[in-house]
Structure 1
Amino acid sequence: MRTKRISALVCAGFMAGTAVLAGSVSATAQTGAPARAAAADRAEDIRERLESLPGMKVTSVKDVDGYPLYSLTYRQPVDHDAPGAGTFTQRLTLWHKATDKPTVLYTGGYTLASNTTALTKLIDANQVSVEHRYFEESRPSGAAGDDWSKMTVEQEAADEHRITRALRTIEKGKWLGTGASKGGMTATYHERFYPKDLDAVVAFVAPNDANNKDDSGYERFFKTVGTRACRDALNAVQREMLVRRDALLPQFEADAKAEGQTFEETLGTADRAYEFAVLDQVWNFWQSGTAADCATVPDAKKATDEELYGWSKKHGFSVYQDEDLGTHGTGPYYRQAATQLGWADLTFKHLKGVRHYPDIYQPNSVLPAAMRGTYSNKAIAGVDHWVKTKGERMMFVYGQNDPWSAEKFTPSHRDSHRYVVPGANHGASIAKLPAKQQAEAVATIKRWADVK
């Protein structure tokens, strides 16, 4: 399941792909970039050009590392198939260096990201960052904001298509899309539905649940990741957390009360929330941790209640609560997972006999009733086929020990590539690849961006 500060049902979005590629920032960026690209092509001229775009508004401008960062809103149709049926404003930013430099289109897949990506630094690019529709301030007002049927991968791809088309009238260099986790998925969907918008896509740890009924890839991952001893120890702790439910649930309830956590609108009860958090433990351990953390796993049978609960709280026990799961939290992600993106419906065979809620591990469980939906894999299966057969200039980077990387995109042979970072978790990046593969990936990206 993940997200909880990047737990299981959700993807990280901003965890991966943001590390600087060691030694790969261009020489131009390091030497002052000729009068900061002639005062960033004159910041006021760029502002005027932005404000001349229909539907675009500059809300603020500030200096970031010597270049202007424009905070923007853009008027979008709520439904691109019926553009006259209402609009909303989508948040984005433009970090502008020069009109002839490449531009990186970055989507975190959630709220508006504030970081500069490794890809931007690598090719010394402008960067456009986009907030995903229905997250935070990029949500329609009134009844339209409660119509979750318009939160689809196709609608978001259309949002980004309009943004790209508008801003390419200003930024004339190559355009590369990127994102990590859900952001990598979003960049891939954009490329599939509008393949002429971007010159290339670099997606980090982007899950690809093309067949939600087949979770064999995830099951295989948890049978093979790390060592047998570590897997057995983690499974034993997870089981013991449920075996000792009666002893540990009061501590869970006390912690929830102290931290202002409630469960009535989503999971329903503290007992259900406790079980859900336990089910997520092992996934989160590998998502955010490394094999080195295996040494910290306690002996499940010998550990005291305090030791078992205390270790779990620090290693993957992530609480899903009403306060984080509504319309202004991570709820929009779970809505997408429930209707299009899919989820890992693990069997948890080692937990047989100690689960109270056998059907709880799915995204609708953590959603308010009004946000729940019915799943269809039509769009995602179509994207998967297109990437395999028709995608061009696409790069996917995954982590060997990342559960989200268990079901991957398979790129075509059309100048496209896939790399798996040995031992890496959901923070896999090009900087962590073996030297030869890193050099290959960097050279490919620079060729795509038309930079030295």
Structure 2
Amino acid sequence: MPNTISELVCAGFIAGAVVLGGAVPAAAQDNERPAAADAQVVIREQLERIPGMKVVSVAEREGRPFYALTYVQPVDHGNPRAGTFTQRATLWHKATDKPTVLYTSGYGLASDTTALTKLLDANQVSVEHRYFEESRPLGAAGSDWSKLTVEQEAADEHRLTQALRGIEQGKWLGTGASKGGMTATYHERFYPGDLDAVVAFVAANDADNRDDSGYERFFETVGTAECRTALNAVQREMLVRREALLPKFEKDAQANGDTFEETLGTSERAYEFAVLDQVWNFWQYGSVGNCPSVPDAAKATNDELYNWSKRYGFSVYQDEALGTNGAGPYYRQAATQLGWADLQFKHLKGVRHYPDIYQPNSVLPQEMRSTYNNRTMADVDRWVKTRGQRMMFIYGENDPWSAEKFTPSHRDSHRYDVPGANHGASIANLPAAQQAEAVATIKRWAGVK
């Protein structure tokens, strides 16, 4: 996120000196070092006394200890005797009485500092989502994808939060963006006593996977009519000229070492899938300001059409990035619980060869495919609307993932839409009055002035 929000708080590490902009006196530095070193030892000892917790390493971030951790979790929280796995986490510790931000990207272990952490000068706990990267069970359990669920990850975070609350005793706020924001919301739904508040950014809410009218309305209204027409024309032309453009795609795939046999099956199916994703990606990562770059589909040469597409939204789904060690776990979750946007693509009528390809099972290896059940998403949606407390949702006006939103309850909860923003929507880009309101609410929740 931009620096604007972090600049709303003075985050001096030693009271007075840094806040006032002066240098820390040498004597003060000398006096602080032994105390800081002692505190680091105490915190490490406390961490190591937690059953199942291991301190892998200790580094320094901005003068404060940064602990790399692993924590033993049950593979199945409903049957703890069925085996365990180690989940990766980190703790950036500042003080036990400061707020703590619990952060997940919803994927692998994130290394960045969140906007909330900066705003509140908080401790930060980051956690890797189960079955992503190194937080995956070993052996046969690692191939049992039935344990990759919203409920199981919420239970992971519940156990970790409870374990660390004995050390970090201030307010706890959950946060994340995109799938991370969704994950923070699910944690709050299933364990509402863990966190004092949740701030979720661009968290998609596919409450009814059979109803994609919200996404359809988005693509009928986003940006300008001229831009939408031009993008649709380019997308259609990419399929009309399939025979001319597919060899370019295959040449790139060969140069990059991309294969498609285990997931999409053939290079032609992979090409069509990439084309179908093109307009979505244009808006997810771009803006109205990119519209003048869209070529005239009728006049553009094959090279112009293909090269522009590669710069704007043409993403390749290859075996190497979709299996167990890549984005495959996300698509497994989408196929079983999270849902997906099954767009109609009316403007592509007559030029699609694979009309049923645009769904997550298409990009999964056979052993990871499964069937969808709407029960959990419908439950979370109802709970957030009626019972959620101290929850804030930030969405981007021009972000396709923000087309289906969470509706917060009236229990000290809020939703903001950032004008013109894409999937990188932030509090810092809200209009001034809304930004001030949101920041004041977060500080109140965190007990920070």
Structure-2 residue corresponding to 1:8: none
TM-score (norm 2): 0.95
DSSP 3-state at the match of 1:445: helix
Does residue 1:62 correspond to 2:46, yes or no?
A: no
Determine which of 189, 195, 199 is the counterpart of 1:198: 195
Determine which of 14, 24, 28 is the counterpart of 2:8: 24
Q: CA deviation at 1:23?
A: 2.4
DSSP 3-state at the match of 1:319: coil
DSSP 3-state at the match of 1:43: helix
DSSP 3-state at the match of 1:385: helix
Question: Could you give the per-residue CA deviations for residues 320-365 of structure 1, whole angstroms, max 9, x where no partner exists?
Answer: 0000000000000000000000000000000000000000000000
Greater RCO structure (CA 8 Å; 6+ sep): 1
Query: In the aligned structure 2, how far is the partner of 1:108 from the partner of 1:134?
Result: 13
Q: CA deviation at 1:42?
A: 1.1
Structure-2 residue corresponding to 1:418: 415
Question: Measured at CA, do residues 27 and 71 of structure 1 come closer, stay the same or move farther in structure 2, by a change above 3 Å?
Answer: closer
Structure-2 residue corresponding to 1:297: 294
Structure-2 residue corresponding to 1:268: 265
DSSP 3-state at the match of 2:5: coil
Structure-2 residue corresponding to 1:133: 130
**Would you say the 8 A contact 2:6–2:118 is kept in 1?**
no
Does residue 1:396 correspond to 2:393, yes or no?
A: yes
Question: Measured at CA, do residues 248 and 175 of structure 1 come closer, stay the same or move farther in structure 2, by a change above 3 Å?
Answer: same
**Would you say the 8 A contact 2:274–2:315 is kept in 1?**
yes
Alignment gaps of 5+ in structure 1: 1-16
Question: Identity across aligned pairs (percent)?
Answer: 77
Query: In the aligned structure 1, how far is the partner of 2:33 from the partner of 2:178?
Result: 33
Query: In the aligned structure 1, how far is the partner of 2:400 from the partner of 2:297?
Result: 23
Structure-2 residue corresponding to 1:435: 432
Q: CA deviation at 1:39?
A: 1.6
State the AA in 2 paired with 1:231. Answer: R
Structure-2 residue corresponding to 1:115: 112
Does residue 1:71 correspond to 2:68, yes or no?
A: yes
Question: Measured at CA, do residues 173 and 305 of structure 1 come closer, stay the same or move farther in structure 2, by a change above 3 Å?
Answer: same
Query: In the aligned structure 2, how far is the partner of 1:32 from the partner of 1:210?
Result: 47
Query: In the aligned structure 1, how far is the partner of 2:33 from the partner of 2:283?
Result: 42
Q: CA deviation at 1:25?
A: 2.5
Does residue 1:277 correspond to 2:261, yes or no?
A: no
Does residue 1:380 correspond to 2:377, yes or no?
A: yes
Matches within 5 A, 1:240-279: 240-279=237-276
Structure-1 residue corresponding to 2:23: none
State the AA in 2 paired with 1:220. Answer: R
Structure-2 residue corresponding to 1:181: 178
**Would you say the 8 A contact 1:26–1:123 is kept in 2?**
no
State the AA in 1 paired with 2:10. Answer: S
DSSP 3-state at the match of 2:415: strand
**Would you say the 8 A contact 1:104–1:119 is kept in 2?**
yes
Query: In the aligned structure 2, how far is the partner of 1:144 from the partner of 1:65?
Result: 39
Structure-2 residue corresponding to 1:3: none
Q: CA deviation at 1:37?
A: 11
Query: In the aligned structure 1, how far is the partner of 2:193 from the partner of 2:412?
Result: 15
**Would you say the 8 A contact 1:20–1:121 is kept in 2?**
no
DSSP 3-state at the match of 2:54: strand
Does residue 1:158 correspond to 2:142, yes or no?
A: no
Alignment gaps of 5+ in structure 2: 20-27
DSSP 3-state at the match of 1:201: strand
TM-score (norm 1): 0.95
Query: In the aligned structure 1, how far is the partner of 2:132 from the partner of 2:252?
Result: 28
Q: Choose 1 or 2 for highest CA Rg.
A: 2
DSSP 3-state at the match of 1:178: strand
Structure-1 residue corresponding to 2:22: none
**Would you say the 8 A contact 2:6–2:119 is kept in 1?**
no
Q: CA deviation at 1:28?
A: 3.6
State the AA in 1 paired with 2:337. Answer: Q
Q: CA deviation at 1:41?
A: 6.7
Does residue 1:370 correspond to 2:367, yes or no?
A: yes
**Would you say the 8 A contact 1:342–1:375 is kept in 2?**
yes
DSSP 3-state at the match of 1:21: helix
Query: In the aligned structure 2, how far is the partner of 1:393 from the partner of 1:57?
Result: 32
Matches within 5 A, 1:309-328: 309-328=306-325
CA RMSD of aligned residues (A): 1.4
Question: Could you give the per-residue CA deviations for residues 303-324 of structure 1, whole angstroms, max 9, x where no partner exists?
Answer: 0000000000000000000000
Query: In the aligned structure 2, how far is the partner of 1:282 from the partner of 1:308?
Result: 14
Runs of 4+ in 1 over 4 A off after TM superposition: 17-20, 29-38
Query: In the aligned structure 2, how far is the partner of 1:29 from the partner of 1:205?
Result: 31
Query: In the aligned structure 2, how far is the partner of 1:244 from the partner of 1:209?
Result: 34
DSSP 3-state at the match of 2:407: coil
Q: CA deviation at 1:20?
A: 5.4
State the AA in 2 paired with 1:55. Answer: G
Structure-2 residue corresponding to 1:14: none
Number of equivalences: 436
Question: Could you give the per-residue CA deviations for residues 399-421 of structure 1, whole angstroms, max 9, x where no partner exists?
Answer: 00000000000000000000000
Does residue 1:85 correspond to 2:82, yes or no?
A: yes
Q: CA deviation at 1:135?
A: 0.2
Matches within 5 A, 1:8-23: 21-23=5-7
State the AA in 2 paired with 1:250. Answer: P
Query: In the aligned structure 2, how far is the partner of 1:395 from the partner of 1:29?
Result: 28
